[in-house]
Structure 1
Amino acid sequence: MASLNTLPSPLPTATSSSSSSESLDNKSLVITKRRAFVSVSTLAMASLLQLSNPIISSAIALQQQQQDQELDQEEDRIVRLFQETSQSVVFIKDLELTKSPRSSSKEDIFVDDDEDAKIEGTGSGFIWDKFGHIVTNYHVIDKLATDQTGLQRCKVSLVDAKGTSFYKEGKLVGIDPAYDLAVLKVDVEGYELKPVVVGTSRDLRVGQSCFAIGNPFGYENTLTTGVVSGLGREIPSPNGRAIRGAIQTDASINAGNSGGPLIDSYGHVIGVNTATFTRRGTGISSGVNFAIPIDTVMRTVPYLIVYGTPYSDRFR
């Protein structure tokens, strides 16, 4: 979305010493040796104390064991968090048919594989409800939204509550370019979906943990971790207006992550991953990433589902 110009960090300048300081260097060398001897002696004494005092040795071992257990518990928690949330995240492919469909009705055509279509982009989204509504970014499906040829398609790969993978064509329900949001709908007959658990963004604090799940560069079900780096940021929307109140995070967000959920430590969605600054000329993320706050999404998505347009456009 934008690029940052990185400047090389200044390196400390090496200074040369004069010949008159050689004696000082020798003294420093002697002092250094003495300090090293004292340090080794101290370590040796501590080891002897541990061996001679089983209480100290047991306390150190117990402390190490507790630290290992805490690390294992933290890892297990993140693993469970991903397993419980990833079923609600979808993989979106933006497709263009290589030839005009024989039928004039879009509903009669669906691309079962990618042989008859060209993949023009990929993105992420998440299951909003059990009726098959999918929330994503507008810029993920903008070609479908502005299609005048009838050749654009949207293929959504998802998983049901039983863990069965399947894919469906995503039908456009509503868009709001001002907030870079869009809603798709897939046919879920015969499947039971697992919607996300919606959280809140108004009580977020800088420093709290957060996690991004998506499909960066086409790699499905990717988890990245980080913290909330900043709040109340302002980023540009696809229509040129400013999106205010964005969440800044250092959890990696790359091409293909757009539209996926940013979640908190409880698995609640707190934002929609949207943008990242990249280092100029590299395309590599700078670690400054942004998500649309879920409170904004909650105000927008219900109107898109019902009316197909945001509230501000209903009476135009």
Structure 2
Amino acid sequence: MEMLASSLHTPPSPLPTITPSSETPCKTSVSTRRRAIVSASTAAMASLLQFSNPISPLCSAIALQPQQPELDQEEDRLVHLFQETSPSVVFIEDLELAKIPKGSEEEDAKVQGTGSGFIWDKFGHIVTNYHVVDKLATDQTGLQRCKVFLVDARGTSFYKDGKLVGIDPANDLAVLKVDAEGYELKPVVIGTSRDLRVGQSCFAIGNPFGYENTLTTGVVSGLGREIPSPNGRAIRGAIQTDAAINSGNSGGPLIDSYGHVIGVNTATFTRKGTGISSGVNFAIPIDTVVRMVPYLIVYGTPYSNRF
């Protein structure tokens, strides 16, 4: 390489003086041919060295190519996961009607809060957090309403009034029911929370700050946590995650890599005075939900409250 560079950048030496001697021209010709052969060989070797150099741009591009399909597959998997699960997630609006109506009920309604939920079965039962619908549960005026926005299995968007059929403040759970006649609902796929492991991937789907169909990603960052319930009791066994959960995510599903619901997003620690999630978020384990929801649908209260 140095020889080639030198021959490229050094000015050519003066042509040799031709003497009358018959030997001089022969020696000059042979020497010139040798230099040409050496230069050509060096150039070929340099080209081979450059091609085989592992840090050359060409080789770097070749080395990176096998990784590209893996990245595409991961992205496709997440897109498919969201597309399969999001039709089972609903958007909930907590409404208060005007005491003195001035127009239609919809025009007089004031949005007091938003939340999320998910379709439990094809009969129109919706699971959410109690604190999402607590105003409806404690309403004494008859002015509270709950509107549920859904998507059916064919992708048709619609909304219905949600009727409260069961509450469990101790576990921050509630069940709504909507009239889904004429629509084919797509219930979530229920998973399990008993065999979760810290570090496994998880995903939250909901409506943070009213932005519908939002997907956030993270991992299970802790298990067996205790968080306060709306009635002051402790909810045990909560799942901790760093998947972003903010206002409006409450009641939405926390799912695993297979799209199975492993928890109900319910709470987050916020930085004081900011309202911004600190990254320490919690979900009610799905095993608790599976144990409680059938009683809420049938009896309206948890089993323990009936005795």
Do Structure 1 and Structure 2 share a fold, with TM-score over 0.5?
A: yes
Query: Which residue matches 1:311?
Result: 303
The residue type paired with residue 135 of structure 2 is K
Pair 1:153–1:50, CA change in 2 (3 A): farther
Q: Which runs of 5+ in 2 are unaligned?
A: 1-46
Pair 1:142–1:59, CA change in 2 (3 A): same
- The offset of 1:195, in angstroms, is 0.1
- The offset of 1:99, in angstroms, is 3.0
Once the two structures are superposed, the pairs formed by residues 106-145 of structure 1 within 5 Å of their partners are 114-145=106-137
Q: Does 1:161 align with 2:153?
A: yes
Q: Does 1:90 align with 2:90?
A: yes
The residue type paired with residue 84 of structure 2 is E
- The offset of 1:65, in angstroms, is 1.5
Query: Which residue matches 2:51?
Result: 51
Counterparts of 1:112 and 1:188, CA distance in 2 = 23
Q: Aligned residues, how many? A: 261
- The offset of 1:64, in angstroms, is 1.1
Counterparts of 1:131 and 1:112, CA distance in 2 = 29
Query: Which residue matches 2:66?
Result: 66
- The offset of 1:62, in angstroms, is 4.6
- The offset of 1:49, in angstroms, is 3.8
TM-score scaled by structure 2? 0.81
Pair 1:69–1:307, CA change in 2 (3 A): same
What's the secondary structure of 2:217's corresponding residue? strand
Counterparts of 2:124 and 2:49, CA distance in 1 = 66
Aligned to 1:206, which of 192, 198, 201? Answer: 198
Counterparts of 1:96 and 1:269, CA distance in 2 = 31
Counterparts of 1:112 and 1:236, CA distance in 2 = 39
Deviations, residues 4-54 of structure 1 (Å, cap 9, x unaligned): xxxxxxxxxxxxxxxxxxxxxxxxxxxxxxxxxxxxxxxxxxx97451479
Coordinate RMSD, CA, aligned: 2.3
Q: Percent identity?
A: 85
Query: Which residue matches 2:78?
Result: 78
The residue type paired with residue 275 of structure 1 is A
- The offset of 1:68, in angstroms, is 1.2
* Runs of 4 or more above 2 Å deviation: 47-50, 56-63, 99-102, 111-114
Aligned to 1:228, which of 216, 220, 231? Answer: 220
Query: Which residue matches 2:293?
Result: 301
Q: Does 1:147 align with 2:139?
A: yes
Deviations, residues 145-179 of structure 1 (Å, cap 9, x unaligned): 00000000000000000000000000000000000
- Asked which structure has the greater RCO (Cα within 8 Å, sep 6+), the reply is 1
The residue type paired with residue 181 of structure 2 is E
The residue type paired with residue 252 of structure 1 is A
Counterparts of 1:50 and 1:87, CA distance in 2 = 54
The residue type paired with residue 296 of structure 1 is T
TM-score scaled by structure 1? 0.79
Contact 1:51 1:57 in 2 (8 A): no
Contact 2:165 2:296 in 1 (8 A): yes
Q: Does 1:284 align with 2:276?
A: yes
Counterparts of 1:238 and 1:136, CA distance in 2 = 14
Q: Which runs of 5+ in 1 are unaligned?
A: 1-46, 103-110
The residue type paired with residue 226 of structure 1 is G
- The offset of 1:123, in angstroms, is 0.1
